Amino acid sequence: MNIHSVWAIYRFEMARALRTVFQSIISPVISTVLYFVVFGAAMGSRVTEIDGVAYGSFIVPGLIMLSLLTQSIANASFGIYFPRFVGTIFELLSAPISYFEMVLGYVGAAATKSIVLGLIILATASFIVPIHIAHPFWMLLFLVLTAATFSLFGFIIGVWADGFEKLQIIPLLIITPLTFLGGSFYSINVLPSFWQKISLFNPVVYLISGFRWSFYEVSDVSVGVSLAMTFVFLGICLVTVAWIFRTGYKIKN
């Protein structure tokens, strides 16, 4: 493996995050805190607890996952789209670096930024509400797997998009609504039976449920199922990325 090439791409992408620290870190943290204040104040006065967990504490994993999904996609999609937009992608394609190493550099940087952001939000929330992490290892595992999976998904979007507006279509019209409807601010067990079954078709439910279990040992679906669904989506993204580079879809032309 060409470690120097991977490190060069990784370092460049991380440096871009530091140059835009307000957009990359501060803005998502402020948005999450506002979500927390609004939903915590509005709903917390009416719903004191869910599954034995105080409502303010209950929504913390959902808020972290909301930021993690959106930022992973945004970081990775822009990271690969911009070289395509300015034409520097051809310099990468002609360099002595494999497709795997290219993806590792871009996706690794995007996942790192998202994980750091998630930990910052967790630390910020701990000053506002009491937080207990029952299973730190599983919490970090879900955090890393989710960041890596959706960074790969963002990479795919960045390759597919042929304009800046298309970079926002899927995150705004699909991912964000699915996250809100995936139990970020409530348990799907409080829904009527019909809507509970409908919610199970939402893949984000499994991500949030498993992540919340690592905090409070409460979940809407089995932890094993949550972990399995995460690996399934990760596998789909890996296969799609492999197909993109094998066919040269929107990369070589």
Hey, is 54 helix, strand or coil? strand
In whole angstroms, give the CA distance from residue 226 to residue 205: 8
Residue 198 has pLDDT above 70, yes or no: yes
- Quote the domain boundaries for residue 123: 3-247
207 found inside a domain = yes
In whole angstroms, give the CA distance from residue 13 to residue 106: 7
211 found inside a domain = yes
pLDDT band at 56 (very low <50, low <70, confident <90, very high): confident
- Range 204-231 average pLDDT: 92
Instruction: Answer whether 182's CB lies under 8 Å from 208's CB.
Output: yes
154 found inside a domain = yes
- Range 234-247 average pLDDT: 90
- Count Cβ atoms below 10 Å from residue 160 Cβ, excluding itself: 17
253 found inside a domain = no
What is residue 252's predicted lDDT score, i.e. its pLDDT?
A: 65
252 found inside a domain = no
In whole angstroms, give the CA distance from residue 103 to residue 243: 13
DSSP state of 135: -
- The dihedral over CA atoms of 252, 112, 142, 243, expressed in degrees to the nearest 10, equals 10
Instruction: Answer whether 96's CB lies under 8 Å from 2's CB.
Output: yes
More confident of the two residues 183 and 233:
233
pLDDT band at 147 (very low <50, low <70, confident <90, very high): very high
183 found inside a domain = yes
Domain total of the chain: 1
62 found inside a domain = yes
pLDDT band at 226 (very low <50, low <70, confident <90, very high): very high
What is residue 93's predicted lDDT score, i.e. its pLDDT?
A: 75
Closest CA to 224 of 213, 235, 239, 237: 213
24 found inside a domain = yes
DSSP state of 2: -
